[in-house]
Structure 1
Amino acid sequence: MKTSLLMLHGAIGASCQLKAIAGELSERYDVHLLDFPGHGGEALPAESFSIPLFADAARNYIQDHNLVQPMVFGYSMGGYVAMYLASRHPELLSRIVTLGTKFHWNETSAAREVKMLDPAVIAEKVPAFAAALKTMHAPNDWKQVLHNTADMLLNMGRDNLLTPADFQNIKLPCLLMQGDRDKMVTFDETIATYKKLPDARLAVLPNTPHPMEQVNPSLIAYLIK
């Protein structure tokens, strides 16, 4: 029987961005792609975007699809969701792999990220990206997805939900991956989290920036395997 693998996308993203990696892994794993509420065409939730909301969506998916302690791969925010889920429901998962996940948030870092989520600026300066977001989140309004995400990040800056004690209590095997050219996540914060986790490994990916579209799917799949 194949091991189940649940793949979680990043903020303002969707599961379609992970299909290339999923394709590399499908022979070995029973791969599942999840779109968080309000993403990838999933209905916008009545409540605000939050890590607990997305972790509940992952937990419900695992239970509804009868996945027995799946491995979870989380890109960027998806990795944070995976760690949050493991800190609250460790019995649900077998291991965690993250890529480009920012674990340490404060008001300064949150404000910096929110500045890059201005729909008007994106539409004017990067129209191709705006078009991609529109397609990715249809029929939802991609601008609303960005606004909701900005609010979530500001809340995370005020109250970082994962503490050092949370990481120390996550006993699952974990692999933290970071690109050597990632401008969003610092090596210091990734290494600090790696050192707190009792059973962790660290991988630095060469010639790899933060955006999922610019990573090497074969390399990611190799490291997951």
Structure 2
Amino acid sequence: MDAFANSTDAHGRTPVPNSPGVMFEMLRSFTTLAGTLNLSRAVIALGSTRQTVRRHIQQLEELRGEQLFEVHDRQYVLTEAGSRSVREAEMILSRTDAWIAGHKDHVAGLARVMFEQDLERPFYAQQHPVNTIWQVGPPLIKRALQVWVEAQAQIEHPAMQAIDPYLVAYRKFHGDWLCVRIGEQSAYATWLGSTWARSAIGRSLHDDKMRSPSDEFVAEAYDSALLGGQAR
């Protein structure tokens, strides 16, 4: 096993900084090392030092009270606790970066996602209350709500055929959102092309070869609506 070299307090514990900035550095060390499973590559990616990355990992482990990595013959392996933790750590960093860059905020309590930079195709998404959609929404969206009620939220219901050509559907599957249908006249198909539409079926948001930074926050909005039992 590899030992983390750190200074310790009088009780043999590594002091854990209270600074939020240092906490984010610790999370970046964790997620980067989890992605490479190689200390040297993680150090290069972070522009850091071996000692700093090791210290960050040990501090996180002490904060959480569980081991995140095992190291055998200089090979890092995520523990079960580390595997459970890395996705949420990535989301914390993504949310922070997006908030700082102005990519994500909330309007009247509903999520708004805006990605313009570094994308060939800018992405905008805004959740709206159902009553607002019903009052001033486009006819197709109103029809979709009617059909959704008639179908009792069952995608395979015959009533859904009325909007099937325009439908983009995801199902929650093993903690991720799995693409199950993209209609030929949907915004995604006309925006990205039929080839991409066909290739996306059966893929999760995080396994999509056309994945963009906006996907993280689209999934988060889906999760929020699902957990709240809401339509937005």
Instruction: Give the TM interval when normalised to the shorter protein.
Output: under 0.3
Higher RCO (Cα < 8 Å, 6 or more apart): 1
TM-score by length of 2: 0.24
TM-score by length of 1: 0.25
When Rg is computed on C-alpha atoms for both structures, the one with the higher figure is 2
